[in-house]
Structure 1
């Protein structure tokens, strides 16, 4: 089946904001990024963010509601950049390539994205809320589209889509929930472990998709 030139997947758009609200949001997110770079995600608090940004605590609480909300907003901004590459970037991640190659590239790109942002992604998990399963909406929609283009799934297309989305997101969430190394050698150990996990998950995803789609 010939590949399509674009994907009919809408990129979610943020609600329009008042100018002052938009300025506060940008200030808070920029300040949060600076704090993460300087002291690590674990040291970012609602009160600390308000102090560093020079705004009232109420502004931070109204904007993000919880500490996890700060990191969710940061991850959302990065997510939009990834989505844009999927929707309009060069193949195989973007439109124009073989659907199976695109599915492999999407999974590997998604894994890479989450591991590169693992500290923020981990902090965005609200322990008071259920852990998300099956991947975000874009992941499920995109996998379904590519499976359909590849002629895979048939009557079980929706079930296969959910299973592949869960296989893609589940291992990463498990990784995000594991303790990080501490101490003087933490940075090197963390980088080594991230590289190992990334390689393993990326290769596993390629094997899974190849066996499902090209057997």
Structure 2
């Protein structure tokens, strides 16, 4: 019995220790890449509705052929009132972290709220695409709905024009960095389990 209690105590101590972070999730998973691209001097991206609260910890730019950006890219994310919530510049070449055909730069975490609509876009002088071009396909993260392309002819400006389908411009992306259940909550669960075990041990004694 003492061995079981010791094991439970160790479990509880482990639950108290530090944050356990889930791996970041790409908002858009580009599952196939075609060959058609174009250049655009304004702001290109897409809009979406958040299905659940989520934290965003990095913004990124599509890297055609995954061999480095031909120029730096400015990436921003806005709310439905066109307020800029966060922005970052992803550096030229391989300066950004490559994850799933996009190069990312970190931002201070922001929280997107369930049921609200947002837009994300980038101003980039290199190759971009529309996902309805031949050979391209994508899957949005489960936390997103109503995904569709959007643009503005002015650089670094909120997206105010939208495509009439679920196609997106590539373009910008972001990483969802939600944490797994908070250590405080896990610790309370662990303490409850430990307390119940102690009570049973005392009754047995």
TM-score, normalised relative to structure 2: 0.23
- Structure label with greater radius of gyration: 2
Q: Which structure is richer in relative contact order (CA contacts within 8 A, separation 6 or more)?
A: 2
Q: Which has the higher strand share?
A: 2
